[in-house]
Amino acid sequence: MSGVVSGGVRLVLRAEGACILFAAALAYAKLDFAWGYFALFFLAPDVSFLGYLFGPRTGAAFYNAAHSLIGALAALVIGALVDSSLILSGGLIWCAHIGFDRMLGYGLKYSRGFGFTHLGLIGRARLKAPGYSIEPKPLLGSD
C-alpha cells in the first residue's frame, strides 16, 4: 500500500510518539496540573471514532482531525498566549494521547478503512493482508 512506512522509519515514528507522550506528561507534571483531569480526558480524542458510523471516509476525517498534532499544538500555543491553564492542560493531554497512539502504531487513517494507517495495517486489515504471518518480525529489518 502506497504511503505507508515500514522498517526503521516506522520504528523512528513510533519512538517519536513515545517521546511526545513523555514530553507532554513531563510538562503536565512540571506545570502541576491535576492528574485526575489527565486520566479523565486522556481518551477523549477517541470519541472521534463515532465518525465511522457515517462511513470510512467520514470516520477517517474525524479520526485524523482528533489525532493530528495540528489541533493539539494550536491548543498549546493559544493556551500559552492567553495564559489559560485550562487550554494548556487540554493541549498537553491531547498531545499525550496522540503520542501514546503513535507509539502503539495507530497512525492517521486512510479513507479505505480504520485498519489502513500511515504507520501500516492494523487489526483485521493486517490479518487479511497478503504475506501476513503470526510469527514476530525482527525489530530492525530490511523492510
pLDDT tens for the 143 residues of the chain, in order = 456 777 888 899 999 999 999 999 999 999 999 999 999 999 999 999 999 999 999 999 999 999 999 999 999 999 999 999 999 999 999 999 999 999 999 999 999 988 888 888 777 665 566 654 444 455 555 54
The answer to whether residue 45 is domain-embedded is yes
The count of structural domains within the chain is 1
Domain that holds residue 32: 14-128
Q: What is the pTM of this model?
A: 0.84
The answer to whether residue 18 is domain-embedded is yes
The answer to whether residue 60 is domain-embedded is yes
The answer to whether residue 32 is domain-embedded is yes
The answer to whether residue 134 is domain-embedded is no
The answer to whether residue 38 is domain-embedded is yes
The answer to whether residue 86 is domain-embedded is yes
Give the per-residue SS3 of the chain: CCCCCCHHHHHHHHHHHHHHHHHHHHHHHHCCCCHHHHHHHCCHHHHHHHHHHHCHHHHHHHHHHHHCHHHHHHHHHHHHHCCCHHHHHHHHHHHHHHHHHHHHCCCCEECCEEEEECCEECHHHHHHCCCCCCCCCCCCCCC
